Amino acid sequence: MKIINLDQTDYKKLDAKSYDLEKRRLRIEFLKLQEDVIKNNRRICIVFEGRDTAGKSTAIRFFSEYLMPKHFNYIQLGIPTKWESSHWFQRWKKVIPNSGQISFLDRSWYTRAITEPIMGYCTENQYRAFMKKVNNWEEQLISDGVELTKFYFSLSKDQQKIRMKARKNSELKYWKLSKNDEKVITKWNAFTLYKEQMFEKTGTEVSPWVSINSNNKMIARLTSLRYLLNKTEYHGKKILKPAKWSKSLNNYSTSLEGVKFDNLSYEQFMIISKYSDDI
C-alpha cells in the first residue's frame, strides 16, 4: 500500500495577505506547467476523491482559475446509464485527457470503490471486479503517457456535519445538499471501512493515493497544489519551498453568505470559516 500523507504544518497559520501571495505564487507555477503540457503534448489527469463537503470542487476551482480554458477539462459525470454501469472503465476512458490537456475529475472511477457499494448502486460482483482490475487499468493509462495524480480529501465527522448544516441553511447553496447526501452522512463508518480497503488495494507505487486533511480548506488547497507542482517536471520550474508564516498576525478574513469579515484573529477566523462553504 502506498499512501502519501502530506505535512501541512508549514501552512498551519496564515493571514489573508500571506494566503493571497502564496496562492499567486503557486498559480504562476501551474500556468507554467500547463504551457509545458500544451507544448509537449502531455496528458495530465488529476483525480479528486473524498467525503461529501471535503472541498473537492472548490479545490478544482482554485487549481484551474487562471489556466487557459481550451486546454483543461472539468469532469463531473452524472448517474451512469445501465450500459455504463456494466462497462465501467469504458465510461471513464472517455474523459481521460487528450494530448496537450489537463483533466480535473470531480469524483472518478473510484465511486465504484466506495459510494456505489455502500449505497447499493452496484452489485457485489461489480465491486469486486473493479477492485481486481483497477490497478492494471491505471498502469495501462500511465504506460500510455497519462500522468495520474490521485488526491483524497478527508475531514472530521464533526466538520462534515457543520458543513452539511451550513449548506442546508444557506439560501445560495441549499441545492448542493441532496437527499442522497443526507443518507451518506449516516454511513460514516461504512465509508471509512471502504476507504481503507481502497487505499490498501489501490495505493500502488506507480499510482499512490495522496491524502489531504481538508478540515481547513485553504490549507488543503495550498498543500495539494504545491505537492502537484513539486512532483511534476516542467520548463522554468521553481522548486517551491513552503512559505513561513508569522503566528502573530491578526488580519484574517473570510466570507459567509456574501458578508465579508475582515481583521479577524486566527481563532475568530477558524470559528466563522467552519460555516463557510467557500473556505
Listed in sequence order, the residues at least 6 apart from 114 whose beta carbon sits closer than 8 Å to its beta carbon are 49, 191, 194, 195, 198
The 10s digit of each residue's pLDDT in 163-199 is 877 777 776 676 666 666 666 677 889 999 999 999 9
Position with higher pLDDT, 160 vs 7: 160
DSSP letter string over 160-181?
Answer: HHHHHHHHHT-TTTGGG--HHH
By CB atoms closer than 10 A (0-12, 13-18, 19+), residue 261 is middle
Read off the pLDDT of residues 31-49 as tens digits, 9 standing for 90 and up. Answer: 999 999 999 999 999 999 9
Higher-pLDDT residue of 130 and 247 is 130
**How many other C-beta atoms can be found within 10 angstroms of the C-beta atom of residue 81?**
10
Contact 265, 252 (CB under 8 A): yes
Copy the grid coordinates of residue 122: 452496484
Residue 168: per-residue pLDDT: 73
- Give the domains, in start order, of the chain with CATH numbers: 3-242 (3.40.50.300)
Of 70, 35, 54, 144, nearest to 107 by C-alpha is 54
* Strands 3-5 and 252-256, sheet pairing: unpaired
**Which triple of cell numbers denotes residue 65?**
482559475
pTM of the model: 0.84
CB 46 within 8 A of CB 228: yes
In the block, residue with C-alpha cell 452496484 = 122
